[in-house]
Amino acid sequence: MPQTKEAIVNASSLPMSIIIVGVGGADFDNMEELDGDVVRLSSNGRYAVRDIVQFVPFRDFQKGDRDSHMARLKLAREVLAEVPGQVLSYMKANNITPQPCKVNNALLLPDLD
């Protein structure tokens, strides 16, 4: 676990996200700690620059929802929930301004002339 924390703290300044899906009935307290939603992750006195980890226990989406399609949609939404904020936090930390889309595809951006 200490090496994992150190690797995440080191990676927290990079343009990446880490998504962990916990499978099975194990105790996932360590994964919750890596997630960093409650307390910012630290290693050897250094803190993560930003939260790049999203942890989701799969078992939370297996119980109580009889509609498996809906359960899969909820799982997908939860797994990807923090990614947009993580992208924005990286961009802000590195003074990156979004540029307008240059795609001129009739399906994406119709020509209104």
- Quick: pLDDT tens for 63-83: 665 677 788 888 888 889 999
* pLDDT band at 34; cut points 50, 70, 90: confident
The domain locations on the chain are 2-93
**Tell me: the pLDDT tens digits for 50-63?**
899 998 888 888 76
Question: Is a pLDDT exceeding 50 seen at residue 112?
Answer: no
**Whole-angstrom distance, CA of residue 90 vs CA of residue 58:** 27
Q: Which two tokens stand for residue 7?
A: 């690797």
Output the average pLDDT for the chain. 83
96's CB contacts (< 8 A; 6+ apart) are: 90
The single residue listed with the structure tokens 């020509």 is 111
pTM above 0.85, yes or no: no
User: What's the CA gap between 49 and 13, in Å, rounded?
Assistant: 6
